[in-house]
Amino acid sequence: MVKVGTGPHCRWSLWAFAGQLAQSERSAWLEIAAIGLEKASMSGRGLGGLLRCAIAAALSILFFAPICGIAHGQSLMAPQAIAPAEHAPGSGSPGASIAFPEPSAHPSALPFAQASPVVPAGHVALMVAARYGPDAPLISGGVIWRVYAANPDAAGMFRLVKEEQTATPTFVLPPGDYVVHASLGLASAAKAVRLRADTVREVFYIPAGGVRLQGRVNDVRIPVGQISFDIYPGSQFDTAQRRPIAQNVMTGDVVLLPEGTYYIVSTYGDVNSVVRSDIQVKPGKLTDIVVTHRAAVITLKLVNQNGGEALANTQWTVSTPDGDVIKESIGAFPRLVLAEGDYHLIARNEGHIYQRDFKVINGVDGEVELLAK
C-alpha cells in the first residue's frame, strides 16, 4: 500500500483511489482520444488498468507499453490543425520533432505569470500546465484536468472537486490536500498537491504521441467505413494475452498514446483480410500509419447463364481449398472482401447444390459467377 503525506488527514490510499477511478469514471475520463481532424474532439472507452498504474506508481507520469510505425512528423500542438496527408504504402521513418511555439526560448521555464492571481479569502490558487517532456513545449490543447479530494468520503469514494479542459487552468480551492490528474488521450500524469496559503504552480510531463491510420490496396486508399483498426500494447511477437486499448478506430482518426511500442490489427471488410503491424510512438510526434492489404472486393452470383440475373435466396459458403469455412451468407449477390488466394465456392438454391473454385488477385475487384447447372 502506497500512502502520501505526514498527517492523518493527508494520508490516502493510491490503490483505493485507482480502483474508484477504474469503476466509477470508466467512460468519463479513460479517453481513447480519437481526435477528429477538424474539431479535435475526444471519444473514450474504459481502461481501468491504465489508471491503476498511473496512480499506484506514486503519482508519477503514466506510461503504457510501446507499438510499430510508418511515420511522417506533424505538430501535435494544435490537433485541430492537422490535415489529412497522402502517403504511399510501405515503410517510413520516425516523424520530425514537434514544432515549438513562439516564443519558447526557454521551454523548461515555468509557464506561469510571475504575479499570483487574486483569490477570495480562505482560498488558494493552483496553477497547472502540461508538457510533452522536461525540455518540450507546452501542450496547447486536448488535456483534461481533474482535481480530486485526497481522502475518500464515508462511502470510500474520492470526490471530484473540479474539472477543466483549458491548456493552463487555474483552480481556486480551499486549503487542503488534493490529487490532480491530467490526461491527454491514453497518456496521463497524476500528482499529490498540498495547498496552504501561497499560490502553487505545477507542471505535468505527459510524453504522448499520436498515430493516424489508413489502409490501402496497392496505391488505392481503402474508403472510410470499410476498414477498422484495433491497437494493442506491446509487440505482435509477444505471446502474452492482452486486451486492445483502442478498438474500431476509423481511417483519419488520431489516437493519442503514451510513448512506446504497440501493434495494430487492421481489418478490411469482415472476412479474412487482416494485417498486423508494430508501430513506435514517440513523444510530441504524429505518426501516419499506412497499412497495405492484399485483397479484392468480390461479388458472388448464381445465374442460369453467363451474365444472367442473379438468383435470389441463395445460400453461400466460401471455404479454403482444404474445406475450412471462411464465410457464409444468404442473398442474390453478396459482396465480400477476400484476401488474395484460392477459394472453393458452394451455392445452395431450391434444394440444389452448385460449386466451383476461384482465385482472388490482389487489387482486382470483380464478380464470381456460378452457373446453376
Question: Contact 195/170 with Cβ under 8 angstroms?
Answer: no
Look at residue 294 and tell me whether its pLDDT is greater than 50. yes
**Peptide bond between residue 66 and the one before it cis (omega within 30 degrees of 0):** no
Query: Could you read off the pLDDT of 111-159 as tens digits, one per residue?
Result: 676 666 788 999 999 999 999 988 888 898 999 999 999 988 888 888 9
Q: Which grid coordinates are listed for 31?
A: 479517453
| Type and span of the H or E element at 364 | none
Task: Write the DSSP string, 187-205.
Answer: EEEEEEEEESSS-EEEEEE
Residue type, 189: A
Task: Please list the residues that pair with 235 across neighbouring strands.
Answer: none
Count CB neighbours of 218 within 10 A: 11
Look at residue 211 and tell me whether its pLDDT is greater than 50. yes
Integer Cα distance of 166 and 141 in angstroms: 7
- Mean pLDDT value across residues 230-258: 93
Q: Are strands 144-149 and 366-371 parallel, antiparallel or unpaired?
A: unpaired
User: Going by C-beta distance under 8 Å and a sequence separation of 6 or more, which residues neighbour residue 81?
Assistant: 75
Count CB neighbours of 153 within 10 A: 9
Task: Write the DSSP string, 115-181.
Answer: SPPP--TT-EEEEEEEESSTTSPBP-S--EEEEEESS--TTSPPPEEEEE-SSS-EEEE-SEEEEEE
Q: For all residues of the chain together, what is the average pLDDT?
A: 76
Candidate from 49-53, 182-186, 198-202, 345-349 with smallest mean pLDDT: 49-53
Question: Contact 355/332 with Cβ under 8 angstroms?
Answer: no
Task: Please list the residues that pair with 124 across neighbouring strands.
Answer: 173
Look at residue 49 and tell me whether its pLDDT is greater than 50. no
**Please, what sign has the CA dihedral across residues 294, 299, 302, 304?**
negative
Question: Contact 281/245 with Cβ under 8 angstroms?
Answer: no
- Mean pLDDT value across residues 160-180: 95
What is the pLDDT confidence band of residue 76, given thresholds at 50, 70 and 90?
low
pLDDT of residue 115: 63
- Mean pLDDT value across residues 86-94: 32
Domains of the chain: 208-293 (2.60.40.1120), 295-371 (2.60.40.10)
